[in-house]
Structure 1
Amino acid sequence: MDTDVDSGRYHRVCVPETQLDFSGQTYSVSVLKVGYCLPQADGTFRADGTITLITGLRTILVDTGGPWDRDFLLQTLKERGLEPRDIQIVVGTHGHSDHIGNLSLFPSSLTIVGYDVNEGDIYRPNKLAEGNAYSVDEYVSVLPTPGHTGQDVSVQVKGTTAGTVLVAGDLFECCSDVNKWRDLSMNTVVQEVSRQKALCTADVIIPGHGLPFRVVRN
């Protein structure tokens, strides 16, 4: 358990690795791969982004992992009865290689990376850069959550049995990221605002490099 030091109004409860599926009547959310960030003795670090699948009225993949995840991603989708062509929407929460390394597997999908929304070479107008959500439908929205980079987005899914789930990319590094996220942030002030909004509205947050956590309001 980890207390959010910036508000005192919330604490976080990490979800066990055996409970990575959040079902719902309209949409279900499943973590296909838990991301990680592991410092190495030589000063480098090993990292990969969380990969999340949303199924229901539409089939949505949030972050594709790094290029080294290609075979894992294809196999995991196949085990769920899915081929790349079945993915209707692919969201890259931001443009780092460990989050969008397999976009090329989904050429026919609606693609949302940061504040760009496109189908092939056709880009749709949207108001993400103005701070407005991009609505998929009444249950799923792509929200601008900048700070880690200038154009981060998160995917909000309403109506699961766990409540509102936020697939947050690197808005949150992990369940226990109280201060270390700051070292990786392009703008800590902006990211802090985005984090507080998320903590106010989400019941479960899926971070970019660790297990999901439940948000408990004190």
Structure 2
Amino acid sequence: MDSAWPTHFSIRTEPLGALEIPGSPYSLAVLKEGYCLPQPDGSTRADGTITLVSGPGNQVLVDTGGPWDRDVLLAQLGQRGLGPGDVGWVVCTHGHSDHVGNLGLFPSATLAVGFDVCQGDRYLCTELAQGRPYPIDPHVLIMPTPGHTGSDVSVRVDGTSLGTVLVAGDLFERCADEPGWRELSENPSLQERSRRAALESTDVIIPGHGPPFRVYRDPRP
């Protein structure tokens, strides 16, 4: 991807080639890589990426996959010595079934689904709908990134070995997803603005239906 941005740099992206990103204080691991596969009969097989953000005393799960992913998710957590009760936050980037299908595994976590953030039946005050991020802690932010739906969010993680990482849900389908993402967008012009902001400010993006990719901002001659 190389776009003519109205800035002093151009943007290009490349597959990262890894599913884990170390860092301090937070590291990330893709527990299941999402996919989106058109079928000969016109249907689509799709599942959302599941990502774990691990830091000191805090585990943040971003998207939970579909309900068919229950055993995979529990097994992936178990391989890291974790159970559902060890996850302090679950952030679902939006409300589609392949992203929220296992919320019921985490009743004790603080839950964020789109612009709603709750602890049990207590809903917290946020300004996500007004375009302002919501901090989980100084290194991890829930970012409003609408367009795919009206209340999509992403999770921004600072301080990894590769810089700033954005777990983006369906803001990006995959690396080099032009023009297909537009067909799935409720508001393509709004999503385009959210995508541009992400590409201008982050170093790695974990998309909703493909492997992580790097973002490079090359100075224009």
1:54 match:
53
2:20 match:
21
Distance 2:50 2:39 in 1: 23
Q: TM-score, normalised by structure 2?
A: 0.95
1:76 match:
76
1:129 match:
129
**What is the one-letter code of the residue matched to 2:13?**
R
Distance 1:15 1:210 in 2: 11
Distance 1:184 1:106 in 2: 29
Q: Summarize deviations over 1:65-118 as a string: whole Å, max 9, x none.
A: 000000000011001100000000000000000000000000000000000000
Q: How far did residue 5 of structure 1 move? A: 3.6
Distance 1:127 1:211 in 2: 30
1:113 correspondence with 2:113: yes
**What is the one-letter code of the residue matched to 2:203?**
D
1:187 match:
187
1:9 match:
10
- Counterpart secondary structure, 1:9: strand
Tell me if the contact between 1:172 and 1:207 (Cα under 8 Å) persists in the aligned partners.
yes
Distance 1:77 1:140 in 2: 20
Q: How far did residue 158 of structure 1 move? A: 0.1
Q: How far did residue 6 of structure 1 move? A: 5.8
1:86 match:
86
Which residues of structure 2 form unaligned runs of 5+?
A: none
Q: How far did residue 20 of structure 1 move? A: 0.9
Q: How far did residue 178 of structure 1 move? A: 1.6
- Counterpart secondary structure, 1:118: strand
Q: How far did residue 136 of structure 1 move? A: 1.0
**What is the one-letter code of the residue matched to 1:194?**
S
**What is the one-letter code of the residue matched to 1:15?**
L
Tell me if the contact between 1:4 and 1:178 (Cα under 8 Å) persists in the aligned partners.
no
2:159 match:
159
Q: Summarize deviations over 1:50-79 as a string: whole Å, max 9, x none.
A: 000000031100000000000000011001
Structure 1 runs, 4 residues or longer, greater than 6 Å off: none
How big is the alpha-carbon RMSD for the aligned residues of Structure 1 and Structure 2? Answer: 0.9
Q: How does 1:90-101 map to 2 (within 5 A)?
A: 90-101=90-101
Q: Summarize deviations over 1:105-132 as a string: whole Å, max 9, x none.
A: 0000000000000001000010000000
Q: TM-score, normalised by structure 1?
A: 0.96
Distance 1:11 1:84 in 2: 37
Distance 2:76 2:141 in 1: 25
Q: Summarize deviations over 1:20-67 as a string: whole Å, max 9, x none.
A: 111112000111111000000000010000000000031100000000
Q: 1:100 to 1:6 in 2, by over 3 A?
A: farther
1:38 match:
37
**What is the one-letter code of the residue matched to 2:183?**
D
**What is the one-letter code of the residue matched to 2:41?**
D
- Counterpart secondary structure, 1:136: strand
1:178 match:
178
Distance 1:192 1:35 in 2: 21
Q: 1:168 to 1:186 in 2, by over 3 A?
A: same
Q: How far did residue 138 of structure 1 move? A: 1.1
